[in-house]
């Protein structure tokens, strides 16, 4: 279940609630009973540096495989013949 952050406009308290996606947003502060609003926070997930995408999926990263075909891909059974 996702973890949501809330801020109370009356007492200033910030707290977290674990709620289902289908649950309605909370509206009352558990500390003072005041009105609260859901906060938007940054995620801790980030992709940095080289990794799975640049090493496995980008066009420049594909290793060149030498042709094992004696006719350099001209025979019908070669994978490059259908390309």
Read off the pLDDT band of 45 (50, 70, 90): confident
Model-wide pTM > 0.75: no
Which domains, and CATH codes, for the chain? 1-41 (2.20.28)
Identify the residue with better confidence: 70 or 39: 39
Q: Which two tokens stand for residue 66?
A: 């030498």
- Residue 61: C-alpha distances to residues 15, 48, 56, 81 (Å): 45, 17, 6, 23
| C-alpha to C-alpha distance for 36 and 12, rounded to whole angstroms | 9
């Amino acid at each position: 279940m996702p973890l949501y952050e809330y801020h109370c406009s009356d007492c200033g308290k910030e707290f977290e609630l674990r709620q289902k996606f289908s649950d309605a947003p909370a509206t009352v502060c558990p500390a003072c009973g005041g009105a609260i609003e859901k906060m938007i926070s940054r995620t801790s997930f980030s992709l940095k540096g080289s990794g799975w995408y640049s090493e496995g999926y980008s066009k420049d990263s594909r290793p060149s495989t030498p042709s094992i075909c004696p006719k350099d891909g001209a025979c019908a059974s070669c994978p490059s013949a259908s390309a």
